[in-house]
Amino acid sequence: MSGKDFTQISRRSVLKGATAVGALGVLAPAWLRAGAAHAAGMDGEVITGSHWGVFYAKVDGGTWTEIRPWEGDPAPSHQLPGIMDSVMSPSRIKYPMVRRAFLEGGAGASPETRGAGDFVRVSWDEALDLVASELKRVSETYGPTGIFGGSYGWKSSGKLHNCQNLMRRMMNLGLNGAFVNASGDYSTAASQIIMPHVMGTLEVYEQQTVWPVVVENTDVLVFWAADPVRTNQIAWTVADHDNYPYLQAFKDTGKKVIVIDPWRNETAQFFDAEWVPIRPHTDVALMLGIAHTLYEEDLHDSDFLDEYTSGFEDFLPYLTGESDGTPKTAEWASEICEVPADQIRDLARLFQSNRTMLSSGWSIQRQHHGEQSHWMLVTLASMLGQIGLPGGGFGLSYHYANGGAPSANSIVLPGIGDGGGAVEGAAWMTDAGAASIPVSRVVEMILNPGKDFNFNGKTQKFPDVKMAYWVGGNPFSHHQDRNQMVEAWQKLETVVVHDFQWTATARFADIVLPATSAYERNDIENVGDYSARAIVAMKKVIDPMFEARNDFDIFADICERLGARDAFTEGKDEMAWIKGFYDAAAEQAPARGIEVPAFDAFWEAGILEFEIPEENRQFVRYGDFRDDPLLEPLGTPTGLIEIYSKNIEKMGYDDCPPHPTWMEPVERLGGEGAKYPFHVDTAHPSSRLHSQLCGTKLRETYAISGREPCMINPVDAEAKGIVDGDIVRIFNDRGQILAGAMVTDAIRPNVIRVAEGGWYDPAPGGEIGALDTYGDVNNLTVGIGTSSLAQGNCGHTALADIEKYEGDAPAPDVFSAPAEG
């Protein structure tokens, strides 16, 4: 295994709070050498928050010098030092910049030069005048379908400086809602559409059976394509890390843990779990093989199926093969998923004879036909009959933002509104194109204006978008089929981006506005997506660097040029908005039987914590439904778990049948006509949040030969003549990347793993198909939708080949700012 084993670094850091705190002190000098951030404000230490947790920032002599975790964090993330470095990394955007060809030739000029780094520095007034004039021009010329404002991504934490809401607020108030929006997300798009049909609720972002119940009652804990030890480092709000003590507590019980995943992930290593190295993309087949064994051996819970589910009798002919001539036996499943048939049968018996929790990650629904994965997981859990029992059933969020951490009796903060909601306000746009698209169809939309697309029972047309406005995200990282995306971006007339680092998305823009980081402004946020056990004052650490400005102020100035400044600001400044959010939340306190301090006292203290009631430590998901399905029905048409959906049947989609089904993806290992010999596993990184912090010194703790690491099994490495530390080229028909080889038996044969989120860095010249010199794995993934139902992304569908790179490899240069013109 490579000397730069970032899985081990992460495990040590996130699981032992004291060790993690010590590690920050050890690492801090490296970030300071990169160039510390200078503050014009007072010296001292302030508390603030981030996706990685609550922390203290020390400012000494006008310089941000240290970062240390909040003492209430049970498992601080080892990524915290990257936050400090991000504020003054070489990739920082310092000034408003405009692409030279755009500035000299106008909108749409030489689009092929996007990404080439040829920018000209302009003043803020010039930049804002350009943005406002383009918004007016495109809106007046092309109507309400001309501007795409469905910007998506992991914006910074905070209730006020939610740049995506602020952007839509500007467009709703300044352009009367005349823009194209987006729905869904890249994380759970397939599940958040299929689960309401099956369970009557979104499921993926909802509270799980809480961890104290799991520790006490679960006998067999199955992590199916889930890696909570790694992914619970981060949260959408401010991470609480409350799950880590429970992970340790479950480990201490010595009870059975099984990890089903193509690589022996950090959770498998932590628990020393039984590892089932499934062939990627075949999870539904394995579930069907287990389900068939349960039925064949009369181990299924027929009473639960009769009382709590609908449609099992319509699914059964498919399971037994009566309807298609193919019984979904363990042997049948084994041929597809490469898990031995005897092991499949053993899993069925083990699950049935023990209280079993099936904890699934989201990767298995981010693939072609991804809707089927969680639908079949629910069907399998229904056959086991343990849904609603303490420690049994299934969960889809134990790996995300510390889902399953007991909820506090807390007040919940509101946030800045978007000013009206473009989808509702622009329903009249239908004739010219959809008012909103599934978010991951953005490239397909740009390339195919007027084309029909299906989505959850409706057929609409893609609008003809001419301008894209992106804030708080990096689509040139999270979107699939990078070269197709470059092609699409060349069709746009105008692209505007706000960011504080020179991501690839910023490099492919026409107008780039330098926004502040979350640490150069004030805000407020809940701590814990699921626990909500505190509210933190996100206090400004340092004044804005260079010419960076808050998104709120940027959009207020644009609205002034559009005649809507007063409507946008409502006459309130930053602290007035923050106080308003706190005071509104405080009104909830009497009904909850708690007292909270006045705002000024809270702000001075910096954090307000809440108690967790004992009853919340005993929460069992679907417990009420199990106790009385008539009085506590689900939100489905039948009020029951829908194994067979008549609503989906009515849609008539050939790529999403009305019951969970094994469907061949567009490409997979072992699939007919598979063109390439390796599946590319695109799991989340261990030392960044998607692409966030990739542009910091933290990268030096995991990069191999200056590139994104590529895990490869020793058998495959030997066959390819690759050794640890080699620079390798990974390629298919869609694209090619360089990466650094990590030879390890933690990955199964015929699978290579390159984490998503590496910054896209095409070799000089930048033409479509150029070699990516750092390792953005989405050069290789397919850009199609999961199915006509959900139209989610297929970020885990990719076959490729790998070879040792010969010759002098071009050095990545994406981690420094383009030269100023």
Q: Name the strand (E) or helix (H) holding 274.
A: strand 274-276
pLDDT at 431: 63
Under 8 Å between Cβ of 775 and 754: yes
DSSP H helices in 639-713: 646-651
Q: 398 catalytic, yes or no?
A: no
Tokens of 134: 């383009």
Burial of 131 (0-12, 13-18, 19+ CB in 10 A): buried
Statement: residue 31 has pLDDT above 60: no
- Rounded Cα–Cα distance for residues 413 and 159 (Å): 8
Mean of the pLDDT values across residues 534-548? 96
The residue written with tokens 């299924």 in the block is 300
Statement: residue 75 has pLDDT above 60: yes
Q: 760 catalytic, yes or no?
A: no
Tokens of 515: 């926004």
Tokens of 37: 């951030």
Mean of the pLDDT values across residues 65-85? 97
Instruction: Give me the CATH topology for the region 678-804.
Output: Barwin-like endoglucanases (2.40.40)
Pairing of strands 356-360, 393-395: parallel
Which residue intervals of the chain bear CATH 3.40.228.10? Answer: 190-408+622-651
Q: List b or e across 488-520, with b for residues whose CB sees 16 or more CB atoms inside 10 angstroms.
A: bbbebbbbbbbbbbbbbbbbbbbbbbbbbbbbb
**pTM for the whole structure:** 0.94
Statement: residue 94 has pLDDT above 80: yes
- Rounded Cα–Cα distance for residues 312 and 72 (Å): 47
Q: CB-based contacts of 713: which residues, under 8 Å, 6+ apart? A: 743, 744, 745, 747, 748, 749, 750, 751
Statement: residue 19 has pLDDT above 60: no
Q: CB-based contacts of 765: which residues, under 8 Å, 6+ apart? A: none
* Percentage of the residues of the chain whose pLDDT score is greater than 90: 90
Domain 97-186+412-521+546-609 sits in CATH at 3.40.50.740
Got the DSSP string for 746-765?
TB-TTEEE--TTPPP-BPTT
Half-sphere exposure of 451 (CA within 13 A, CB side): 14
- Rounded Cα–Cα distance for residues 345 and 295 (Å): 11
Query: How far is the first Cα of the chain from the last one, in angstroms, to the nearest whole number?
Result: 45
Burial of 418 (0-12, 13-18, 19+ CB in 10 A): buried
Mean of the pLDDT values across residues 69-92? 96
| pLDDT-derived band at 63, boundaries 50, 70, 90 | confident
Tokens of 59: 């400012």
pLDDT at 12: 30
Statement: residue 54 has pLDDT above 60: yes
Choose, from 142, 154, 224, 519, the residue flagged as catalytic.
154
Q: Name the strand (E) or helix (H) holding 478.
A: helix 475-478
Statement: residue 28 has pLDDT above 70: no
Statement: residue 182 has pLDDT above 50: yes
Statement: residue 422 has pLDDT above 70: no
| pLDDT-derived band at 429, boundaries 50, 70, 90 | very low
* Per-residue pLDDT tens over the stretch 309-337: 999 999 999 999 999 999 999 999 999 99
The residue written with tokens 């499943």 in the block is 333
* Per-residue pLDDT tens over the stretch 140-170: 999 999 999 989 999 999 999 999 999 999 9
* Per-residue pLDDT tens over the stretch 717-730: 999 999 999 999 99
Statement: residue 307 has pLDDT above 70: yes
| pLDDT-derived band at 766, boundaries 50, 70, 90 | low
- Rounded Cα–Cα distance for residues 268 and 280 (Å): 17
**Domain covering 190-408+622-651: architecture:** 3-Layer(aba) Sandwich (3.40)
Picking from 777, 769, 187, 235, the residue whose alpha carbon sits closest to that of residue 440 is 187
pLDDT at 41: 54
* Per-residue pLDDT tens over the stretch 242-260: 999 999 999 999 999 999 9
Mean of the pLDDT values across residues 465-475? 97
* Per-residue pLDDT tens over the stretch 561-614: 999 999 999 999 999 999 999 999 999 999 999 999 999 999 999 999 999 999
Statement: residue 647 has pLDDT above 90: yes
Tokens of 230: 């790694």
Picking from 737, 736, 741, the residue whose alpha carbon sits closest to that of residue 752 is 741
User: To 10 degrees, what angle do helices 17-33 and 6-15 make?
Assistant: 120
- Rounded Cα–Cα distance for residues 779 and 813 (Å): 17
- Rounded Cα–Cα distance for residues 607 and 619 (Å): 26
Choose, from 64, 70, 142, 152, the residue flagged as catalytic.
152
Which residue intervals of the chain bear CATH 3.40.50.740? Answer: 97-186+412-521+546-609
Pairing of strands 452-455, 458-461: antiparallel
Mean of the pLDDT values across residues 98-120? 95
Which residue intervals of the chain bear CATH 2.40.40.20? Answer: 678-804
Statement: residue 428 has pLDDT above 60: no
Statement: residue 30 has pLDDT above 80: no
Residue type, 617: R
| pLDDT-derived band at 425, boundaries 50, 70, 90 | very low
Residues in the chain, how many? 821
* Per-residue pLDDT tens over the stretch 661-707: 999 999 999 999 899 999 999 999 999 999 999 999 999 999 999 99
Statement: residue 27 has pLDDT above 70: no
SS3 357: strand
- Rounded Cα–Cα distance for residues 327 and 757 (Å): 40
Q: Point out the least confidently predicted range of 217-231, 333-347, 412-426, 498-512.
A: 412-426
Mean of the pLDDT values across residues 13-36? 34
The whole-chain average pLDDT of the chain stands at 93
Residue 641 forms beta bridges with which residues? 309
SS3 583: helix
Mean of the pLDDT values across residues 816-821? 85
